[in-house]
Structure 1
Amino acid sequence: MLTSAVACLALWAGAASAHGSVVDPASRNYGCWQRWGSDFQNPAMAQQDPMCWQAWQADPMAMWSWNGLYRMYLGGNFQGSIPNGQLCSGGHAENGRYNAMDAVGAWKATGIRNSFSVKLNDQAHHGADYLLVYVTKQGFDPTKQALTWNDLQLLTKTGRYAPADYYTVNLSTSGRTGRAVVYTIWQASHMDQAFFFCSDVNFTG
């Protein structure tokens, strides 16, 4: 277990290398940090939020550094660079720090309707060449299946965003119900740096 001093150091390290994340619907590691960052040693998490529990046990820095899940110099070749089953970790980004994000199970899901928005917090004001937003196809069950590229359908590829605190993408689907993953790729503008976010959602109509 991390001591309070080490936890504070980890939090500082994450802030010092701030980049950003999808905050609504929350990416997996951002959601775990949001719910448990101030109480991450609470054993009740194992029953109340077991996917976050396994992630904190695997590597607490994945949550403290919720804004650092990126890969460098992929040149837009995301499918060729990130193997199936590793999409939520960005292909084992940061030497495997985020591997627990790929774990299959009942991650906490945000309820959304068929018209919804994705909100990205750009802490470092990198700007964006574009955002790619996908959603898993109807019938995919993230509680039982590892995420692959073939499971995704592209909802939009945006244009450029000038550096700002937040970018919001308005999206719509048709007739969706049940569990799904919204998968967002943020291609930053300041250099060839791409960020990868799995957001667990539950379509309520």
Structure 2
Amino acid sequence: MARKRSLFALASVVVGLFVAFPSAAQAHGSTSDPVSRNYGCWQRWGSDFQNPAMATQDPMCWQAWQDNTNAMWNWNGLYRDGVGGNHQRAVPDGTLCSGGQTEGGRYRSMDTPGNWRATTKPQRFRLNIYDQASHGADYLHVYVTKQGFNPLTQRLRWSDIERVATTGRYAPSNNYAVDVNAGSRTGRHVVFTIWQASHSDQAYYLCSDVNFTQTLRVNSAIQPS
């Protein structure tokens, strides 16, 4: 009986690992710098997600973990299939950060306004995408919220953002980059990125929280072909 209980416990652990960590075949990607909301939560708390300190140290991640842990375990799967380039029809106002509440609402906590952990960036910066599965990209569209938008209290709408960068195709790789000019924006903003993957009609919708300064800094990564 003890041996059966041990085998059952081992099987439960193995099943749990498959649920928590997507296999390489299922892997996709996200914005890595400035980091997207759910990828940032996974980076900071993935190995410590039961720590009650998260509630005070990182309250937006805390509410996200409580709502649906798979939004973080599957940080690389915030996409919609078959959009056909009509992103505004597929993703209604107020749901941009969850990709129109894709995957049955798995990522809906990403739409919640609040004090998300923000990355400090200059007004001119380089945005990086981590493509775990090397899907390639037909294009990247990068938007930034208009001055006056308050991510602490407002859900993101299409009318709140302006496109500041667009690219051509990228050959399959693990990292893609695009130079972004946020103009005269200062303070807290949301960078909203659409990554149209090349392997199929699969569009990723990625929200990154930033705090704009006027200090120039450029990091390196692969540019489009």
Superposed, 1:183-202 pairs within 5 Å as: 183-202=192-211
Q: CA deviation at 1:9?
A: 3.0
The residue matched to 2:109 in structure 1 has which SS?
helix
Q: Tell me if the contact between 1:15 and 1:65 (Cα under 8 Å) persists in the aligned partners.
A: no
Q: Return the index of the structure with the highest Cα Rg.
A: 2
Q: Distance in 2 between matches of 1:83 and 1:105?
A: 20
Q: Which ranges of 4 or more aligned residues in structure 1 deviate by more than 4 Å?
A: 3-7
* Count of residue pairs brought into register by the alignment: 203
Q: Distance in 2 between matches of 1:37 and 1:5?
A: 17
Q: Tell me if the contact between 1:14 and 1:68 (Cα under 8 Å) persists in the aligned partners.
A: no
Q: Distance in 2 between matches of 1:90 and 1:113?
A: 27
Q: Are residues 1:25 and 2:34 paired? A: yes
Which one of 130, 135, 157 corresponds to residue 144 of structure 2?
Answer: 135
Instruction: Give unmatched runs, 5+ long, in structure 2.
Output: 1-11, 215-225
Aligned position for 1:77: 86
The change in CA–CA distance for 1:15 and 1:33 in structure 2 (over 3 A counts) is farther
TM-score by length of 1: 0.95
Aligned position for 1:46: 55
Instruction: Give unmatched runs, 5+ long, in structure 1.
Output: none
Superimposed CA distance per residue, residues 42-74 of structure 1 (whole angstroms, 9 cap, x where no aligned partner): 011000000000000111111011000000001
Q: Tell me if the contact between 2:165 and 2:179 (Cα under 8 Å) persists in the aligned partners.
A: no
Q: CA deviation at 1:104?
A: 0.7
Superimposed CA distance per residue, residues 109-147 of structure 1 (whole angstroms, 9 cap, x where no aligned partner): 000001111100111111100000000001101001110
Aligned position for 1:125: 134
Q: Distance in 2 between matches of 1:76 and 1:13?
A: 27
Q: Distance in 1 between matches of 2:36 and 2:23?
A: 16
Task: Provide the identity percentage.
Answer: 61
Superposed, 1:1-205 pairs within 5 Å as: 8-13=17-22, 15-205=24-214
Q: Distance in 2 between matches of 1:118 and 1:131?
A: 10
The change in CA–CA distance for 1:111 and 1:134 in structure 2 (over 3 A counts) is same
TM-score by length of 2: 0.87
